[in-house]
Amino acid sequence: MQVSFSSDELSILKRPLGLLIEDSRVSRDILEHLLKDARLVISVGDATTERLIALGFVPDIQIVDGRERRGLRAEIKHMHKSEVRCRNPAGTVSKDAIDAIRKALTLDKPVRVYVDGEEDLLGLVVLKLAPDGSTILYGQPLEGIVLLRVDEEIKSRLKHLLSKLPI
């Protein structure tokens, strides 16, 4: 079972859903300040995960697919205790991916979720499953990193998309 989204729904997700930190401003100091109270830090995307690790932040959950802007990339430095694998076809959210993220939330951190397919839409799953107070970081292509706090406000704003997920 998998869920796909209309082009109108996808256009909502192409805009930053949280705070956009421009590439030139992403630094250890800024991230320390913004992440200090995060319950969990969850990265979605290879480039974002790699950048966080390079700056000294190891996300609690790292969701990667071995690709960057549709091209293959080198594997990210091994910075996790546990790993979970799943399949998730491009442009969808699969039950397998939902189950993998649900499992990752229960394992000893840090956890890397390896996606065979595409991880782009899996931030929605994290938003629905992660505890309030968590922070999701994902890349905004050619612009920077988006920081999204998990709380009732963002869940309410995106409820029409989140309600499509079989969770």
pLDDT the model gives residue 77: 63
φ/ψ of 42, rounded to 5, equals -125, 125
pLDDT surpasses 60 at 101: yes
Q: How many CA atoms lie within 13 A of 101 on its CB side?
A: 29
Strand, coil or helix: 157? helix
Give 85's pLDDT tier (boundaries 50, 70, 90).
very high
Whether residue 2 contacts residue 118, with contact meaning beta carbons closer than 8 Å, is answered with no
pLDDT surpasses 90 at 68: no
Residues 6+ positions from 117 with CB-CB distance below 8 Å? 65, 87, 88, 89, 90, 92, 94
Cα 114 to Cα 159: distance, rounded to the nearest angstrom:
26
Cα 40 to Cα 38: distance, rounded to the nearest angstrom:
5
* Domains of the chain, residue spans: 2-162
Q: CA torsion, points 131, 101, 15, 66, in degrees to nearest 10?
A: 140
Segment 111-158, tens digit of pLDDT: 999 999 999 999 999 999 999 999 999 999 999 999 999 999 999 999
Cα 148 to Cα 22: distance, rounded to the nearest angstrom:
14
The secondary structure element, H or E, covering residue 22 is strand 19-22
134 residue type, one letter:
S
